[in-house]
């Protein structure tokens, strides 16, 4: 446990397993946790990698009148210590509902943009063991499933490109504040952290009373156990995807019928949840109970069903999964780094010109080459829901990797992990990516293991 008089080698343990070769961005709000993170990280780099780049970034969410002033205070704090600093503001209209989730998305998007501009591959945040315990307790209160009880992952891949790392998840907030006091360093108190209108402050207030310390310890123990279970079920699901799933044509997944009767039913259900979400372009895994019932039906007579926007067509020759041909995106100009139907990531090398991206459609799919091993009706139905580039009503090329014009790339994406991939789920995400032809995962940020 970190204490104010911790020795440098103990402090270095917080960062020693991180690959800091491209430098690091520290997300700094000015609160105690992020301020401590910044100072500890700078100390570590000064001792072990003085040439490594360190950039502190403060996100001004523009939600409180004092936010811009507080950002400038952080800027001054960094300037006094020779730390490069940048303020990035979340501008524009804010949503009336789901504000916390929208702010989180905007925060990580801005941080990732800053990292990309600097060629830095790591973003470090100051989440602590206290934050972890609060997260687990909030999810317990919502009757969250076991996966969610793992809490925050040590690292999360954002947008399939940039790693967000939380090196302080094993450190208590009180120890960080003791360290700051010992250095005679203050911090900014965000009033929303004590605003009882929000769930986290209410949980935090309860933990400050009575048996709070015992509840924190129990929540952290539960998170650790849930994380182990989540990685293990993910590993087994990845093995089943690798062993039983194939992609005969773009947009169509074929499962060997032996998949449904595999002895590891728990892993088969988890693999099916991932595959349905990936094929259907759904951000959350398919419902576990419904997938369990579906898997049971797949063991018997052929049938057809729909779940998570995915058509499941069980035949004697295999179990086929494809995107259902409804609620597909309307034709629109391609936009850089946007997800199309949550199933394809678009990359523009220049402007879109007169190009639009839209589903291939039944007429064009009927002209596409077919696989001899797959019934034509299945191939054409799957291809019809795939994206294609169009110009003046003419199809220039359909997906299956890069499509059509050299100026536009349309690469497959793994929908439930395309925006946020916790390090708990690396193995099943990698298996799904290989299956659908998505780009490989960037190397994990930890030198020796996945950080879990």
How wide is the angle at C-alpha 284 spanned by C-alphas 328 and 434, nearest 5°? 80
288 half-sphere exposure, CB direction, 13 A CA radius: 8
Q: Which of 211, 190, 210 lies closest to 200, judged by CA?
A: 190
Across the range 171-180, mean pLDDT stands at: 95
Give me the DSSP letters along 340-373. ETTTEEEEESS--TT-EEEE-HHHHHTTS---TT
Q: How far is Cα of residue 358 from the mean position of the Cα atoms in its chain?
A: 26
Same-domain status, 395 and 249: no
291/353 same-domain check? no
Q: Give the pLDDT of residue 55.
A: 98
244 and 304 in a single domain? The answer is yes
Report if residue 175 sits inside a domain: yes
Please tell me whether residues 31 and 147 are part of one structural domain: yes
Whichever domain contains 192, its CATH number is 3.40.50.620
222 domain-assigned: no
| pLDDT at residue 203, as a whole number | 87
Instruction: Provide mean pLDDT across the span 106-128.
Output: 96
Number of domains in the chain: 3
Position 378 in a domain: yes
Residues 172 and 285 in one domain: no
Residue 87 vs residues 58, 59, 72, 258, 334: alpha-carbon distances, Å? 5, 6, 8, 55, 30
Q: Which of 2-16, 296-310, 367-381 has the lowest mean pLDDT?
A: 2-16
Distance CA 201, CA 219 (A): 17
Q: Which of 157, 174, 209 is the last residue of a domain?
A: 209
Q: What is the chain's length?
A: 452
> Are 73 and 162 found together in one domain?
yes
Categorise residue 319: left if φ over 0, alpha if ψ from -120 to 50, beta otherwise.
beta
C-alpha distances out from residue 125 to 37, 38, 142, 184, 343, Å:
7, 9, 25, 22, 29
Residue 403 reports pLDDT greater than 60: no
Q: What is the pLDDT of residues 344-367, one digit of tens each?
A: 999 887 766 788 999 999 988 888
Whether 190 and 236 map to the same domain: the answer is no
Is residue 137 situated within a structural domain? yes
Is residue 219 assigned to a domain?
no
Are 139 and 288 contained in the same domain? Answer: no
Residues 85 and 26 in one domain: yes
Task: Check whether residue 313 and residue 357 sit in a common domain.
Answer: no
DSSP secondary structure of 123-178: EE----HHHHHHHHHHHHHTT--TTGGG-S-SEEEETTTEEEE-TTTTS-HHHHHH
For residue 98, what are the domain limits?
8-209
Reply yes or no on whether the pLDDT at 24 is more than 60: yes
Task: Indicate the pTM of the whole model.
Answer: 0.92
Q: What is the pLDDT of residue 401?
A: 41
350 with 318, same domain? no
Question: Do residues 315 and 252 both lie within one domain?
Answer: yes
Task: Tell whether 100 is covered by a domain.
Answer: yes
- pLDDT value at residue 298: 94
pLDDT at 400 exceeding the cut of 50: no
In a domain, 329, yes or no: no
Residue 448 is assigned to a structural domain of this protein: no
């Amino acid at each position: 446990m970190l204490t104010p008089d911790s020795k440098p080698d103990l402090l270095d343990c917080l960062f020693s397993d991180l690959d800091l070769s491209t430098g690091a961005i520290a997300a700094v709000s000015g609160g105690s946790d992020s301020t401590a993170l910044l100072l500890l990280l700078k100390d570590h780099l000064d001792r072990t990698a003085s040439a490594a780049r360190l950039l502190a970034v403060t996100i001004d969410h523009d939600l409180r009148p004092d936010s811009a002033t507080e950002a400038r205070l952080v800027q001054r704090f960094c300037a006094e210590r020779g730390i490069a600093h940048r303020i990035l503001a979340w501008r524009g209209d804010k949503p009336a509902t789901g504000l916390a989730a929208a702010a989180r998305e905007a925060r990580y998007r801005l941080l990732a943009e800053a990292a990309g501009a600097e060629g830095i591959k790591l973003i470090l945040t100051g989440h602590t063991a206290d934050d972890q315990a609060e997260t687990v307790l909030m999810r317990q209160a919502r009757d969250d499933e076991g996966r969610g009880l793992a809490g925050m992952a040590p690292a999360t891949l954002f947008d399939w490109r940039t790693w967000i790392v939380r090196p302080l998840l094993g450190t208590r907030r009180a120890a960080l504040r003791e360290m700051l006091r010992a250095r005679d360093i203050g911090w900014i108190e965000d009033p929303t952290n004590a605003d009882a209108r929000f769930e986290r402050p209410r949980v935090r207030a309860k933990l400050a009373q009575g048996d709070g310390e015992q509840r924190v310890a129990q929540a952290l123990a539960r998170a650790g156990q849930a994380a182990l279970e989540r990685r293990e079920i993910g590993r087994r699901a990845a093995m089943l995807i690798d062993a039983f799933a194939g992609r005969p044509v773009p947009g169509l997944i074929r499962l060997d019928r032996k998949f449904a009767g595999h002895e590891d039913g728990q892993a088969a259900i988890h693999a099916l949840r991932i595959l349905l979400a990936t094929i259907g372009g759904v951000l959350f895994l398919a419902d576990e109970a419904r997938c369990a019932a579906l898997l049971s039906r797949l063991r018997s007579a052929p049938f057809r069903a729909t779940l998570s926007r995915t058509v499941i067509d069980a035949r004697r020759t295999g179990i086929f999964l494809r995107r259902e041909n409804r609620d597909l995106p309307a034709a629109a100009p391609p936009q850089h780094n946007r997800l199309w139907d949550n199933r394809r990531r678009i990359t523009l090398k220049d402007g879109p010109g007169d190009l639009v991206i839209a589903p291939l459609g039944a007429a064009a799919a009927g002209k596409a080459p077919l696989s001899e091993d797959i019934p034509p009706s299945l191939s054409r139905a799957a291809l019809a829901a795939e994206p294609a580039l169009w110009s003046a009503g003419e199809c220039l090329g359909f997906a299956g990797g890069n499509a059509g014009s050299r100026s536009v790339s349309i690469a497959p994406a793994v929908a439930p992990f395309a925006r946020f991939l916790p390090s708990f789920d690396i193995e099943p995400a990698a298996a799904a990516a290989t299956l659908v032809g998505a780009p490989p995962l960037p190397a994990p940020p930890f030198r020796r293991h996945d950080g879990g």
